[in-house]
């Protein structure tokens, strides 16, 4: 332990503002962490996206103490299961060795360099044993404990005092009474408590000076401290950047607070050194020699060869070998999918599609990968045309749900809400709505009373005795007959969506002001057509389908909901846009823009339950009698599609289709569905391009018609927003699989939920980030999700795609640094091009010559 | 306004700072302005223009975090210098430009410092 730090007040070199700048930079090393109620997928390596992918993964692994790749044994399981084409693995190995000539160079008689590398990849024992994961260190446990107390959201029976002072000062005020602090820091810590500045920024500057951190090394030092507690640091970023300030004003906690506490511990010599990764060196030489039957002389001759290839291959770390497997998995997927898309593009006749017969109904789904197989199943049921659009339907809203204190953001985290929307009774359902409202208030009061009684020192046992029998009965019902219990619950209370609906014409805080002006409504309505290529010659029924999952007793339930709706179900957004599109004044406004919808088009909202595949149609009683037959036919088709998709999904979960319905309401179900596991591609083009291909629920589908987007505005929007969200999701799944301990949240069975904030493992430690093990791995421990980077395929002229990328820095970064792989299929030339990531990490912009043949 | 009226105006000399950064860094710049004690500022979103990396597009309609933003702040010279010092550290790794200039304002109380450094 480092006990050298000066305990006197050092000469501070940095100003407070300089320190604030350094703290802001250090904070970027972790992404924000959303609370469970609105769990959002984020790339845990978002702070490293300025670097090329491989370099970023390496640096992040060092900073977080994480693995760079799935273990070799797991890759080999995927390889054996046929998820990776052996030819692709061979091609990747040849490229890694510098090309065909050096790869086929003879190392010893009958053995080439390629043979060596393939043996290391597929046969020889891994060099890095599965290391024992670093146990919770005392300083992490100490800070995590205080963070949990400080950021508590009303769950604690005795709230932490002094929270109004901020995290740093509140902990300083109490640390002197904490025996853990005394054990950790001894007398040095006690002295520091008396002398350290009470201003976190000044304390950080003092700490950096006292520890002798050199100029230029401050950000790295602070980022290293942030990375020691990435969960709580991410929560602090979420509080600072993504929630309404009023929600967190009572307990202000900033990254400067957290860093000041870390530096306090470091100055007191309380930090455990981070383990340094061992150099793989050439430990694999004996294994190679044994595998190829080399005697000592042959081995020595091979090692002494001028090319040094044996040392090179023997020196590959398992992480690097894993990286080759990942590339092979990506190539396997790309080389299977892209030729199919090329063939489909060649057959695509956009002009012909425009004169096709009017479909029975058109349905717009979220781009989510789970929509694709359902859409395919529905399209097989009749004349149904489907589209893919961001699931928030372009509406940047915050919803004030009836009976809830705080508004919720139903929009992508990339956006700030621009409209506050309230819920109001559905016309004709006022009495039921009032009854529901009373029930909500009563339930909240009961829950608060029960919570207080359960945690009170004088009432805890009495509460357990009084409610125990009822709780026991409920538990038995939940276990033995969860679906029966669900039916009973539904019979006792009205369905919320049947009695309450978002209202467009009344702002929640100002009844005289509408939530949307007519101009807003026309704008959002027309965006649906502009961004998806939906033609104004709409069907008699146009359905906007949001989506959400179903799970009980599952802290990750929100992760199954719509990411574009801020981790909420998407029905509300669909209802709002449907209501807009049905307004005569909006139709007139659209017509003025050249979007003349048939008078007989009725727009409906729906919600696709991705766990059960049932689709609820909202406000169906307002469908005119003239459309009753269309509606009945559609509902029947939706039911058939649901059954077909359940039959497809059930074997993937190792269950029966019927059991999927039970899992959705069973409180012991740890994997109600696979969520977005398997996600691999983001396809931008018309549905006719992809409809003939079984994409196996692995592709985000955004509808796009290049012929209707001359200036590239729609393409810019699609690539800079929905694709960015898809990339976050892809990276979250990728890294949560690669290292479920560091980038994921570990086994659900041993998780504990911390208030509404997040989960911890066991009874303490950092807030866990990422996805649980059950969302990514089978019960047998095999990776269900293949960690691979997103493949974006765009059906548009090359020059247009290139112009969009050049004008948007974020795209140059994602494609240029290899975070997303881009393939463009040019409908004008029929050529397919692959965007080549740039080799130089600091080069700005991507040269047109970088577009090379796939 | 006549020339005489203008000469009667009581003008106050202050410093102005203009900062152009990527939208994703706007929070960091706000932190610096607050820490330095700038009492208020203007933020212009969706700034487009030509730079070293070519033409920078304004933000796209579904993403507030793309494109560039521009801050304009006015305060006493020491406060603006503080901001510039903080920015110099930020610009070591993040792209952005800043301009400092002398300005005159009519209502100096609008630009009073909000520093509340804790002891």
Q: How does pLDDT run across A546-566, given as a tens digit for each residue? A: 999 998 888 888 889 999 999
pLDDT band at A4 (very low <50, low <70, confident <90, very high): very low
Q: By the 8 A CB rule, do A283 and A94 touch?
A: no
Q: Looking at the structure, do residues A633 and A576 belong to the same domain, yes or no?
A: yes
**Maximum distance among all Cα pairs of chain A, rounded to whole angstroms:** 92
B76 at A interface, C-beta within 8 A: no
* Calpha distance B63→B55 (Å, rounded): 18
Q: Return the pLDDT at A667.
A: 87
In this prediction the pTM is 0.91
Q: A492, A518, A534: which is the final residue of a domain?
A: A492
Q: Looking at the structure, do residues A420 and A368 belong to the same domain, yes or no?
A: yes
Which of A25, A717, A809 comes nearest B53 by C-beta? A809
User: What's chain A's Rg over C-alpha atoms?
Assistant: 29
Q: Return the pLDDT at A279.
A: 60
Q: Looking at the structure, do residues A595 and A653 belong to the same domain, yes or no?
A: yes
Least confident segment among A82-96, A419-433, A591-605, B25-39: A419-433
Q: How far apart are the first and last CA of chain B?
A: 48
Q: Return the pLDDT at A127.
A: 81
In a domain, A169, yes or no: yes
Q: By the 8 A CB rule, do B60 and B4 touch?
A: no
In a domain, A238, yes or no: yes
**Maximum distance among all Cα pairs of chain B, rounded to whole angstroms:** 51
Q: Return the pLDDT at A442.
A: 75
- The runs of H, that is alpha helices, within A493-608 are 496-499, 518-532, 571-582, 584-592
Q: In this structure, what token pair is assigned to residue A59?
A: 């640096």
Residue A397: its H or E element? strand A397-400
Q: Looking at the structure, do residues A420 and A285 belong to the same domain, yes or no?
A: no
Q: A448, A472, A492: which is the final residue of a domain?
A: A492
Mean pLDDT (whole number) for A126-142:
77
Closest to A634 in 3D by CA, of A599, A604, A597, A600: A604
Mean pLDDT (whole number) for A162-191:
95
In a domain, A731, yes or no: no
Q: Looking at the structure, do residues A289 and A140 belong to the same domain, yes or no?
A: no
Q: DSSP character for A693?
A: S
Q: Looking at the structure, do residues A236 and A288 belong to the same domain, yes or no?
A: no
Q: Looking at the structure, do residues A544 and A660 belong to the same domain, yes or no?
A: yes
Q: What residues make up the domain containing A476?
A: 436-492
Least confident segment among A96-110, A324-338, A473-487: A473-487
Closest to A379 in 3D by CA, of A632, A66, A121, A641: A641
Q: Looking at the structure, do residues A51 and A87 belong to the same domain, yes or no?
A: no
State percent of chain A over pLDDT 90. 69
Q: Return the pLDDT at A509.
A: 77
* Calpha distance B2→A840 (Å, rounded): 60
User: How many Cα atoms are found within 13 Å in the side-chain-facing hemisphere of A167?
Assistant: 29
* Calpha distance A189→A185 (Å, rounded): 5
Closest to A690 in 3D by CA, of A454, A337, A419, A199: A337
A757-806 per-position pLDDT tens digit: 899 998 889 999 999 999 999 999 999 999 999 999 999 999 999 999 98
Neighbours of A231 (CB within 10 A): 23
Q: Return the pLDDT at A276.
A: 66
- What does the buried/exposed string (b/e) look like for A733-764 if buried means 16 or more CB atoms within 10 Å of the residue's CB? bbbbbbbbbbbbbbebeebeebeebbbbbeee
Q: Return the pLDDT at A841.
A: 35
In a domain, A328, yes or no: no
Q: Looking at the structure, do residues A298 and A260 belong to the same domain, yes or no?
A: no
Task: Give average pLDDT by consecutive 10-residue segment, chain B, 119 residues.
Answer: 73 94 91 92 86 66 82 95 93 92 88 57
Q: Return the pLDDT at A700.
A: 98
Q: Map residue A620 onto helix, strand or coil.
A: helix
Mean pLDDT (whole number) for A805-830:
93
Which neighbouring-strand residues pair with B99?
B18
- Asked whether the predicted pLDDT for residue A600 surpasses 50, the reply is yes
Query: What residues of chain A have any CB closer than 8 angstroms to a CB in chain B?
Result: 15-18, 20-25, 197-199, 201-202, 216, 219, 240-241, 390, 394, 412, 414-416, 527, 716-717, 720-722, 724, 806-810, 812, 844-845
Q: Return the pLDDT at A480.
A: 77
pLDDT band at A405 (very low <50, low <70, confident <90, very high): confident
A547 is in an annotated binding site: yes
**Which DSSP string corresponds to A303-351?**
HHSTT-HHHHHHT--HHHHHHHHHHHHHHHHHHHHHHHHHHHHHH--HH
Domains in chain A: how many in total?
Answer: 4
- Domains of chain B by start residue, with CATH: 15-105 (3.30.70.120)
Q: Looking at the structure, do residues A239 and A303 belong to the same domain, yes or no?
A: no
In a domain, A709, yes or no: no
Which neighbouring-strand residues pair with B69?
B21
Q: Looking at the structure, do residues A538 and A608 belong to the same domain, yes or no?
A: yes
A73-87 per-position pLDDT tens digit: 999 999 999 999 999
Q: A626, A642, A674: which is the final residue of a domain?
A: A674
Mutation for testing the B interface, residue in A17, A26, A719 having most B CBs under 10 Å: A17
Q: Return the pLDDT at B117.
A: 39
Q: Answer with the residue of higher pLDDT: A509 or A1.
A: A509
Q: Return the pLDDT at A847.
A: 37
- C-alpha distances out from residue A552 to A438, A442, A666, Å: 24, 21, 6
Closest to A747 in 3D by CA, of A482, A566, A555, A525: A555
Q: Return the pLDDT at B60.
A: 64
CB contact under 8 A, B86 and A21: yes
| Torsion from C-alpha of A821, A822, A825, A829, nearest 10 degrees | -120
In a domain, A747, yes or no: no
CB contact under 8 A, B86 and A722: no
Q: In whole numbers, what is the pLDDT of chain A averaged over residues?
A: 90
A456-482 per-position pLDDT tens digit: 777 777 878 878 888 788 788 778 788
Mean pLDDT (whole number) for A302-311:
84
In a domain, A791, yes or no: no
Mutation for testing the A interface, residue in B55, B60, B76, B115 having most A CBs under 10 Å: B60
- Asked whether the predicted pLDDT for residue A328 surpasses 80, the reply is yes
Q: Return the pLDDT at A351.
A: 47
Q: By the 8 A CB rule, do A309 and A105 touch?
A: yes
A50 is in an annotated binding site: no
- Asked whether the predicted pLDDT for residue A393 surpasses 90, the reply is yes
Q: Residue A441 region, left (φ>0) first, then alpha (ψ -120 to 50), else beta? A: alpha
A623-663 per-position pLDDT tens digit: 999 999 999 999 999 999 999 999 999 999 999 999 999 99
- Asked whether the predicted pLDDT for residue A355 surpasses 60, the reply is no
B22 at A interface, C-beta within 8 A: yes
In a domain, A746, yes or no: no
Mean pLDDT (whole number) for A594-621:
96
Q: Looking at the structure, do residues A587 and A460 belong to the same domain, yes or no?
A: no
User: What's chain B's Rg over C-alpha atoms?
Assistant: 16
Q: Answer with the residue of higher pLDDT: A425 or A578.
A: A578
Q: Return the pLDDT at B118.
A: 36
């Amino acid at each position: 332990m480092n006990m050298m730090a000066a305990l006197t007040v050092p000469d501070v070199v940095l100003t407070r503002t300089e320190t604030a700048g350094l703290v802001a930079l250090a904070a970027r090393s972790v992404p924000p962490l959303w609370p469970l109620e609105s769990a959002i997928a984020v790339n845990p390596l978002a702070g490293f996206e300025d670097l090329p992918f491989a370099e970023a993964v390496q640096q992040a692994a060092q900073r977080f103490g994480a693995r760079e790749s799935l273990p070799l044994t797991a890759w080999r399981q995927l390889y054996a299961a046929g998820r990776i084409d052996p030819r692709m693995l061979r091609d990747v190995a040849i490229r890694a060795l510098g090309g065909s000539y050096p790869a086929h160079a003879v190392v010893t008689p009958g053995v080439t360099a390629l043979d060596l590398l393939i043996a290391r990849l597929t046969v020889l024992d891994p060099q890095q044993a599965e290391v024992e994961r670093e146990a919770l260190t005392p300083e992490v446990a100490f800070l995590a404990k205080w963070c949990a107390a400080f950021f508590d959201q009303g769950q604690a029976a005795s709230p932490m005092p002094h929270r109004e002072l901020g995290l740093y000062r509140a902990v300083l005020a109490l640390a002197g009474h904490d025996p853990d602090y005394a054990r950790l820091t001894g007398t040095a810590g006690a002295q520091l408590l008396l002398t350290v500045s009470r201003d976190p920024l000044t304390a950080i500057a003092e700490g950096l000076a006292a520890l002798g951190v050199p100029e230029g090394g401050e950000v790295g030092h602070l980022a290293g401290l942030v990375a020691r507690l990435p969960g709580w640091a991410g929560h602090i970023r979420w509080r600072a950047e993504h929630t309404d300030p009023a929600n967190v004003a009572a307990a202000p906690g900033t990254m400067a607070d957290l860093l000041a506490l870390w530096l306090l511990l470091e100055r007191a010599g309380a930090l455990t050194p981070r383990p340094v990764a061992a150099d793989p060196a050439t430990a694999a030489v004996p294994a190679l020699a044994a595998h190829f039957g080399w005697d000592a002389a042959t081995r020595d001759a091979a090692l002494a060869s001028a090319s040094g290839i044996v040392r090179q291959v023997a020196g590959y770390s398992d992480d690097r070998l894993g990286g080759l497997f990942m590339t092979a998995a990506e190539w396997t997927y790309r080389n299977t999918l892209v030729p199919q898309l090329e063939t489909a593009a060649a057959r695509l006749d956009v002009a012909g599609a425009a004169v096709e017969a009017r479909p029975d109904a058109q349905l717009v789904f979220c781009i989510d990968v789970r929509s694709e197989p359902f859409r395919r199943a529905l399209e097989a049921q009749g004349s149904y045309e489907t589209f893919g659009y961001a699931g928030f339907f372009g509406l940047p809203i915050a919803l004030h749900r009836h009976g809830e204190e705080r508004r919720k953001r139903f929009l992508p985290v990339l956006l700030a809400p621009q409209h506050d929307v309230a819920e109001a009774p559905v016309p004709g359902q006022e009495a039921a709505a009032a009854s529901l409202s009373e029930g909500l208030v009563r339930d909240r009061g009961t829950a608060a009373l029960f919570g207080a009684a359960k945690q009170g020192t004088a009432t805890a046992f009495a509460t357990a005795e009084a409610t125990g029998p009822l709780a026991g009965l409920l538990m038995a019902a939940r276990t033995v007959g969860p679906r029966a219990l669900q039916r009973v619950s539904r019979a006792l209370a009205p369905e919320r969506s049947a009695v309450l609906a978002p209202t467009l014409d009344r702002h929640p805080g100002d009844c005289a002001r509408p939530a949307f002006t007519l101009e807003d409504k026309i704008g959002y309505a027309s965006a649906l057509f502009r961004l998806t290529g939906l033609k104004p010659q709409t069907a008699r029924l146009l359905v906007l389908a949001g989506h959400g999952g179903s799970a009980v007793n599952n802290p990750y339930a929100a992760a199954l909901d719509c990411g574009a709706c801020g981790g909420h179900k998407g029905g509300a957004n669909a209802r709002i846009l449907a209501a807009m599109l049905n307004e005569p004044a909006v139709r007139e406004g659209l017509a003025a823009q050249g979007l003349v919808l048939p008078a007989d088009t009725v727009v409906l909202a729906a919600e696709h339950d991705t766990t059960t595949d049932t689709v609820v149609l909202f406000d169906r009683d307002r469908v005119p009698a003239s459309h009753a037959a269309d509606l009945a036919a559609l509902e029947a088709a939706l039911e058939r599609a649901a059954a077909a998709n359940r039959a497809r999904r059930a074997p993937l979960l190792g269950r029966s289709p019927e059991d999927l319905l039970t899992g959705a309401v069973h409180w012991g179900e740890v994997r109600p569905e696979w969520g977005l596991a398997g996600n691999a591609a983001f396809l931008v083009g018309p549905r006719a391009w992809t409809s003939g291909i079984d994409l196996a629920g692995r592709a985000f589908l955004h509808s796009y018609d290049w012929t209707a987007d001359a200036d590239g505005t729609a393409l810019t929007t699609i690539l800079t927003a929905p694709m960015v969200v898809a990339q976050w999701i892809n990276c979250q799944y990728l890294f949560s699989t690669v290292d479920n301990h560091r980038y994921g949240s570990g086994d659900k069975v041993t998780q504990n939920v911390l208030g509404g904030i997040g989960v911890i493992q066991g009874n303490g430690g950092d807030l866990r980030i990422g996805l649980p093990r059950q969302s990514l791995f089978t019960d047998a421990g095999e990776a269900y999700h293949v960690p691979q980077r997103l493949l974006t395929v765009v059906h548009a002229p090359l020059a247009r795609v290139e112009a969009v990328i050049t004008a948007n820095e974020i795209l140059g970064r994602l494609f240029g640094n290899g975070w997303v792989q881009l393939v463009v299929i040019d409908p004008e030339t029929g050529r397919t091009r692959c965007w080549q990531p740039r080799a130089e990490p600091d080069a700005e912009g991507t040269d047109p010559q970088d577009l090379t043949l796939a | 306004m006549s020339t005489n009226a203008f000469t009667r105006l009581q003008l106050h000399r202050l410093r102005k700072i203009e900062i152009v950064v990527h939208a994703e860094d706007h929070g960091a710049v706000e932190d610096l302005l607050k820490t330095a004690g700038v009492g208020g500022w203007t933020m212009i979103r969706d700034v487009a223009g030509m730079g070293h990396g070519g033409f920078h597009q304004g933000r796209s309609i579904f993403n507030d975090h793309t494109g560039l933003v521009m801050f304009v702040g006015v305060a006493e010279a020491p406060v603006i210098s503080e901001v510039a010092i903080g920015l110099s550290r930020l610009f070591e790794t993040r792209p952005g430009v800043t301009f400092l200039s002398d300005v005159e304002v009519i209502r100096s109380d609008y630009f009073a410092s909000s520093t509340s450094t804790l002891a």
